[in-house]
Amino acid sequence: MRLRDKLVAPRIMRVFLLTLLVGIMMLAGLGVGAGADRVPDSFEDARQAMVARQLQRRDITDPRVLVAMGTVPRHRFVPGALASRAYGDYPLPIGDDQTISQPYIVALMTQWAEVAPGDRVLEVGTGSGYQAAVLAELTDQVWSIELLPELARQAAASLQEMGYGRVQVRSGDGYQGWPEAAPFDAILVTAAAPRVPPALAAQLKEGGRLVIPLGPPGGVQTLKRYRKTQGKLVEEASLAVRFVPLVRPPALKAGPGADPPGATMPRPGPGAPTQ
């Protein structure tokens, strides 16, 4: 056997076994959460192709994440005119100058968050509600904050309609987190910040995971996964990405180069990894 074949064969076998495991889990209803009572829809084939081609062929290996991505109807979180493109390997606009991140980035951030059943999870930047729905397939305790009131209302309505009514959504200052619901086992932020917001670090449990893109607008950005260890954030993983920047409420904006005076809110960015 040639060297190339020796290297490729194990990967093919791993993908085959993982696909088989995910299929068994989906048939058995294992690892599927709040919205799992839906019947198959006309996008089922496209959704499963997305999981197989965009996620499993990369580095998404958590079976529960793959099942969640293969369950949540992404096409219902985008404008109707874009439904046919919902499962493509790219972000899409959702209105109000916002986007829904590409499937791979949603899956990667979810995998890095290591969400277990019963975990308390905070998402900063609700957007369409898609990421929150994926998280709700993994745990029944999800909180999500969105700066734009109308976007928060629409996302909450979509989540309720699709069986994810347990997700708590509110419009507010995401830079401050959700203190009354803290501490959290995992926090996911969906836009690039210059540094980790102190309030989010404080609201993370010991052993908790923080997934957040860091870097300047239009510059080099890095998606990072931290774990809180002995009260400090320890970086464990990173990936070059391109996200939109954190957006501050107009009344709280500081001058160029200044730190936020206590209120910064991310908008869901395209989440496209740099190539």
Percent of the chain with pLDDT over 70: 77
The reported pLDDT for the residue numbered 38 is: 61
DSSP category for residue 119: -
Q: Domains of the chain, with CATH numbers?
A: 3-273 (3.40.50.150)
Token duo for residue 122: 């905070």
Residue 215: which pLDDT band, with cuts at 50, 70 and 90?
very high
How many helical (H) and strand (E) elements, i.e. helices and strands, does the chain have?
7, 12
Spatial neighbors of 148 by CB under 8 A, at least 6 apart, are 96, 98, 171, 267
Token duo for residue 237: 């993983």
Cis bond leading into 183, ω under 30°? yes
CB atoms within 10 A of CB 259: 9
The pTM for the full model equals 0.81
Give the pLDDT mean for 71-81: 97
H helices of the chain, in order, are 3-28, 44-50, 63-69, 103-113, 130-136, 149-161, 198-202
Token duo for residue 16: 């085959």
Pairwise CA distance, residues 104 & 80, whole Å:
22
The reported pLDDT for the residue numbered 242 is: 85
CB 266 within 8 Å of CB 193: yes
Of the candidate ranges 34-38, 57-61, 112-116, 202-206, the one whose mean pLDDT is the lowest: 34-38
Q: What is the pLDDT of residues 18-54, one digit of tens each?
A: 555 555 555 545 554 656 456 678 999 999 999 999 9
Catalytic residue among 84, 101, 128, 171: 101
Is pLDDT of 1 > 70? no
The reported pLDDT for the residue numbered 98 is: 85
Percent of the chain with pLDDT over 90: 65
Decide if 144 is catalytic: no
